[in-house]
A and B are shown apart, each in its own frame.
Chain A
Amino acid sequence: MEIFIQSLVSGLLIGGLYAIIGIGMTLIMGVLKIINLAHGQILMVAMYVTWVLWHYLGIDPYLSIFITIPVIFVFAEGLSKYLLNPLIEKESILPENQVLMTVGIGMVLVELARTIFSSDYRSVQTSYTDKALYIGNISLSFPLVIAFGIAIILTAGLFYLLSKTDLGRSIRATAQDKISASLMGVSSLKITILTYGLGSALDAAAGSLLLPVYYLYPDVGPLFTVKAFVITILGGLGSPLGAILGGIVLGVAETLGATYLSMGYRDAVGLVIFLLVLVFLPGGIKQLTKI
């Protein structure tokens, strides 16, 4: 029983991080209407930036989010402006050409990382990476707890942005109906670029927060892309609240899977959930609860 609770708690904590990744992806999906198959790779880039900052400048990973967030934000805006937006006009047999473009971007990012950093595993070590908090016999990884806390702050900030600011309203309007929104003066082009930046920025934060507890290597990128779209579909498209639930569900399911099945199947859990959701609950959790 204790093992179960331990797994549950660990899963919950990492679920918090997964949630931010999911929110970022669902935001992009909601506004750009594409599946960003480079999402995990952008996370990887943020992780490498964080690692470099720590390795060469001694900057604490949690503090580096102040750097990675803006850097990735601008980078992602560039990707969106120069590589994704031009495709909106093009009529091609392949309706998925935007999605394919993100695949291409993802590939380039992974291979660039491999060229610069090689395939070696990297990690950070700080005074607190191995620390744990204890509630009874249940151990909570200290870095994960901090990450969870920061994740909550970021999520709250995002919700405030979306619901209370003009910018947030423009984003939501464009997500609901691009044409009407542009008729009311919202530049859908600018909003798509900005949203891609915003979604990626959240990704970047997650990356920095993840580094203390996760090994870094180039192929981590595609791995997290898969997790990201599982979370998004699980939670229901375009629903940030759904993404939070989806992230937590995935985190818990994966940890339970790793504990009770085997390490190798941990990543398969997400995929199986994904297929099940696609078949039985295409609207995701959102469909169940009308969030």
Chain B
Amino acid sequence: MSSGLKSRSFQITKTEWYIIIAFILLPFVFDFSPYFQGLLIFVLIWVMLGSSWNLLAGYTGLVSFGHAAYFGIGAYAAALPYYHFHISPWWGLLTGGLVAVIFGYLLGIVVFRLRGPYFALGTLASAEILRLIFGEEDWLTNGHNGILYMTTWVSKYPYYFIGLILALGAVFSIKAIMNSKAGFYFLSIREDEDAAEALGINAKKYKNISTVISTFWAGIAGAFYMIYMGFIDPEVVFALHNISIITILVGIIGGVGTIWGPALGAAVMVIVQEMFRSAIFGLAPSWVSRMHSLVFGLLVIFVILYMAGGILGDWNLITKKLKFLKRNQGK
């Protein structure tokens, strides 16, 4: 739960170095088909989104049900200058995060005073409003037709490495901040905002800081998505179930309030999604491929009921249960 806080300052652990090196070497070691590379890139996008959500919800206690808002804004921040002025969407990597932050800050003014479920609903409503506006205002966004862009490269490798840098950037920047004063303050606000205030913590200021960092990375993820996919439309990037809810799932499955939980959750999500979309890689009858949304729903129910801390969060419980089962098997 307070993983990483025991280190005296920001340090990359040995395990983390192994993970980084493994990811760098991955495409060289395995001659991955573009299909697999594509999957990996999606994992990286979900790592960014999941980590960003986790900072706000898992560490600061502000459970956003509308993270798609920032993702979508980042995506359109990259796409709109291209659509209207033919400016390359790559600039979105600089602007996407910033525009998302501005929006997040404005939204914060409206929803921060809300506690608990009302905050969640406020964020949900704002993402939905954006989805509808971006869909209706054809003159600005080309509405439901979306925006199309000839991607820079055909090969996926460069996207993979850029995505990897961004994803690691998200994870480690969050780790760095959680090891600092701000990180302690986020946790204090999460645990008991009134007690935190009595300890001299300016809750409003720190909620804003957490929001800024969280929305920044969500926006970057959106901009990267635009650059990589070459096509976005409001129904996809502002989607409630397919972006916002899955972001929450990614955070929950991996482990809310842990540094690497969202990364693990992202991997699990993409694996599960692909398993079902491809009908267990072609081994199962084809109707299975339409089941993936259903499986997600069931996953939400299952995880919340039995594993609310996620794989990393409930790690001790899970390993204990496994050891228990193993011991009983031997008998």
Contacts and interface: CB of A to CB of B under 8 A. Distances in A.
Given A93-B257, A111-B293, A83 B301 contact: yes
Contact of A94 (B57, B111, B298): B57
Contact of A83 (B1, B245, B305): B305
Interface of A: 34-35, 83, 86-87, 90, 92-97, 99-101, 103-112, 114-115, 222, 226, 229, 233, 262, 264-265, 267-268, 271-272, 274-275, 278-279, 282
A275 B118 contact: no
List of 3 A-B pairs having minimum Cβ-Cβ separation, nearest first: A104-B300, A107-B297, A111-B294
Contacts, number: 124
Do most interface residues of chain A lie in helix, strand or loop, or is the interface mixed?
helix
A115 B290 contact: yes
B135 A264 contact: yes
A275 B125 contact: yes
A95 B293 contact: no
B269 to A, nearest CB: 14
B97 interface: no
B308 A268 contact: no
A226 B117 CA distance: 14
- Most chain B beta-carbon neighbours within 10 Å: one of A93, A112, A233, A267: A93
Contact of A274 (B116, B125, B290, B294): B125
Contacts of A93: 1, 58, 61, 190, 256-257, 308-309, 313
21 contacts: A35-B117, A83-B305, A86-B305, A87-B304, A93-B1, A94-B57, A96-B117, A100-B248, A101-B301, A101-B305, A104-B298, A105-B297, A108-B301, A114-B293, A233-B121, A267-B132, A271-B128, A275-B110, A275-B122, A275-B126, A278-B121
A66 to B, nearest CB: 30
B241 interface: yes
A229 B58 CA distance: 25
Given A92-B256, A108-B301, 17 more contacts: A35-B120, A87-B304, A87-B305, A93-B256, A94-B63, A96-B117, A96-B120, A101-B304, A101-B305, A103-B245, A105-B301, A107-B245, A107-B297, A267-B132, A268-B136, A271-B128, A274-B121
